[in-house]
Structure 1
Amino acid sequence: MAPAPPSAASFSPAEVQRRLAAGACWVRCGARLYDLTDFVRHHPGGEQLLRARAGQDISADLDGPPHRHSANARHWLEQYYVGELREDPQGSLENGAVASVETQKTDPEIEPRFKEDLVDWQKPLLWQVGHLGEKYDEWVHQPVTRPIRLFHSDLIEALSKTVWYSVPIIWVPLMLYLSWSYYRTLAQGNVRLFTSFTTEYSVTVPESMFPGLFMTGLFLWSLIEYLIHRFLFHMKPPSDSSYLIMLHFIMHGQHHKSPFDGSRLVFPPVPASLVIAFFYALLRLILPEAVGGTVFAGGLLGYVLYDMTHYYLHFGSPHKGSFLYSMKAHHVKHHFAHQKSGFGISTKLWDYFFHTLIPEEPHLKTQ
């Protein structure tokens, strides 16, 4: 068994048991103790799965079944390390939840991996990551559980973050207003869609087309969501371009570095308004106002559902076997092990279509 670091705290089985009785979720790997109390809600397998293992050695669970945890997941675990379990002279505890250390083995893959970090976390990160060069791609895909500050300016920093409920508060009223406004315009019967580059051939767009146009926008958003996530958010910036590295980090890299920073899980209103205005202007340019506006309203609802789903996949605890449980497991795998696949957030449809599904793991059998 690997020796404990000189500065590591030590806890008796009775001390651990007292914390478990108080509601904490401590687990161990050999003699190494981890406090997962703040992580249980984020666990893709569900909170109850971790709660059921409180006080137990999880070394075998990391290797599976049902699956072998990734190197990033093991690295993540080390952030919750609190100390070492002392030998229990009685050999066991009253309820056997924390057994004697003598019978346990430490998985060498779970030994501490933390080296001196490449950035100073006490300072804003944006300018720092631009100088990481070829080390950036590996660094940004090693997640940590800590908040990120991007900018020196308090104002700009505040504009780069938001609470999750700002998204429905701001954008749902706009979506409802546009929907009602454009439905009334269609109901007047004056909207015509040209079928050629001349005005000789056109068809009237009746109000009965409103649901179809709205759902078209919703469907198109799911494709836009996939394309942006795959080709923009997951571009690999050139190692010799500090500005492209910073651009990638501010767009999406910071989310992969700190996936449970609740202030950065949905798109902040100010930058979101610029992107939303672009898509609105584009649709108005290529389609009649009421047609493009209705499609836009459907897409805007798709965006709201996407951001709310994304937040829930990080902070929610869906029931096992549900659709959201499957999506949460899918998304967490994307963060921790398969960053080059699994780009769908609200749906796996386009991952199926473009063959970017996260590969299924072979089911490990119990020895």
Structure 2
Amino acid sequence: MAPAPPPAVSFSPAEVQRRLAAGACWVRCGARLYDLTGFVRHHPGGEQLLRARAGEDVSADLDGPPHRHSANARRWLEQYYVGELQGDPQGSVENGTVTSANTQKTDPWMEPKLKMVDWDKDLVDWQKPLLWQVGHLGEKYDEWVHQPVIRPIRLFHSDLIEALSKSVWYSVPIIWMPLMLYVSWSHYRTLAQGNVRLFESFSTEYSVAMPESAFPGLFVLGMLLWSLMEYLIHRFLFHMKPPSDSHYLIMLHFVLHGQHHKAPFDESRLVFPPVPASLGIAFFYIILRLLLPEAVAGTMFAGGLLGYVIYDMIHYYLHFGSPHKGSYLYNMKAHHAKHHFAHQQSGYGISTKLWDHFFHTLIPEEPHLKMQ
């Protein structure tokens, strides 16, 4: 017979109030208490939205409006469970007492699944590197990888390879911005010489001169081309569904992108490490160089390289930043959070929704059920 689970820790309203006064952000669903202090700056709706609800029952807020929280978001909440509130659970905690409030009745179909997160019963052993384990998940992999957790991931046994698979956010501008500036200046000087012609390899008669005034347009075109690559890579490579009977394709998917969906706030895995980034950047340059004259290809490559840096910086900020409500990045943060927690097969744009509009993969608007 399995041992009974340990009793839940209970907190008096006065204890909760003391923690709130000290700056903690505790909320509750009924009598269940959650410490969201470490999550407030990651919240897609903004830190102030959560802070304003500190000490309150957020059961109705989970159903919206403005946003109906997904099953993954509710499961995510359970990772912050700390215990039970003593006394009558109706209302909010104020001045050491629980004050009554007229809380909106929630749709029973949307009630949170109030279960503790049990790491010991997960499909993998979190005390060991995950890469070699996920290949054996088979048909369970797709559901498992799209149930995010708030913990770091270790992929490899080797400390060296593990270190190479991680990167700090500021490594991206430090490594790639100097290269972008050098390539830009070098090819601008080549264009300024006035002897670069487009399509010259196909037809001298119909070739087009490329003066230095074409540099800004080519540079912006390179940025636009990168945004398309960003979308296509994210949609068709990162979100491929590996066959359940292929251990190695499952492992490949997990290395490329699955680990990010499993642990979306592992900050060491939010931007591309230099080695794999170098391979992708080299591929981008080779394709351009095969199709275009060196100066034209180089200028577009420089624009694409800046686009990549912006993409990685925006991606990091969407996870760890707290943009001003109503701003472009605020909307993109909410858009990206929905991609992670509810709509993994849409909303592929990170820095822009342009290609989601073009290819009809926008995340659908949420209809809110009216509460009776």
TM-score (norm 1): 0.93
The residue number in structure 2 matching 1:222 is 227
In structure 1, C-alpha distance between the alignment counterparts of 2:205 and 2:116, rounded to whole Å: 70
Alpha-carbon distance change, 327 to 92 in structure 1, aligned in 2, over 3 angstroms:
closer
Alpha-carbon distance change, 299 to 92 in structure 1, aligned in 2, over 3 angstroms:
closer
Measured after TM superposition, the shift of residue 96 of structure 1 is 7.0
Range 189-198 or range 147-156, more displaced: 189-198
The residue number in structure 1 matching 2:25 is 25
The residue number in structure 2 matching 1:144 is 149
The residue number in structure 2 matching 1:65 is 65
Matched, 1:112 2:115: yes
Measured after TM superposition, the shift of residue 11 of structure 1 is 0.8
Measured after TM superposition, the shift of residue 87 of structure 1 is 1.9
The residue number in structure 1 matching 2:327 is 322
RMSD: 2.3
Per-residue CA distance 1:87-135 (angstroms, 9 max, x = gap):
279x98653774479x999975231064510000111000000110000
Matched-pair contact (CA < 8 Å) for 1:66–1:364? no
Percentage identity across aligned positions?
84
Matched, 1:242 2:239: no
Pairing partner for 2:208 from 196, 200, 203: 203
Per-residue CA distance 1:140-167 (angstroms, 9 max, x = gap):
0000000000001111111110110100
Alpha-carbon distance change, 104 to 358 in structure 1, aligned in 2, over 3 angstroms:
closer
What letter is aligned with 1:83? G
Secondary structure of the corresponding residue to residue 112 of structure 2 = helix
In structure 1, C-alpha distance between the alignment counterparts of 2:156 and 2:65, rounded to whole Å: 43
Structure 1: 5+ residue stretches without partners: none
- Pairwise mapping of residues 158-197 of structure 1 onto structure 2 (< 5 A)? 158-194=163-199, 197=202
In structure 2, C-alpha distance between the alignment counterparts of 1:36 and 1:365, rounded to whole Å: 28
In structure 2, C-alpha distance between the alignment counterparts of 1:272 and 1:186, rounded to whole Å: 28
Measured after TM superposition, the shift of residue 18 of structure 1 is 0.5
Measured after TM superposition, the shift of residue 269 of structure 1 is 0.7
Matched-pair contact (CA < 8 Å) for 1:32–1:81? yes
In structure 1, C-alpha distance between the alignment counterparts of 2:210 and 2:286, rounded to whole Å: 20
Measured after TM superposition, the shift of residue 63 of structure 1 is 1.4
The residue number in structure 2 matching 1:79 is 79
Per-residue CA distance 1:182-236 (angstroms, 9 max, x = gap):
0001101121222563445423211111111101100101100000000000000
- Pairwise mapping of residues 294-309 of structure 1 onto structure 2 (< 5 A)? 294-309=299-314
TM-score (norm 2): 0.92
Structure 2: 5+ residue stretches without partners: none
Alpha-carbon distance change, 111 to 16 in structure 1, aligned in 2, over 3 angstroms:
same
Secondary structure of the corresponding residue to residue 87 of structure 2 = coil
What letter is aligned with 1:341? S
Secondary structure of the corresponding residue to residue 307 of structure 1 = helix
In structure 1, C-alpha distance between the alignment counterparts of 2:134 and 2:98, rounded to whole Å: 42
In structure 1, C-alpha distance between the alignment counterparts of 2:332 and 2:92, rounded to whole Å: 40
The residue number in structure 2 matching 1:124 is 129
In structure 2, C-alpha distance between the alignment counterparts of 1:308 and 1:239, rounded to whole Å: 33
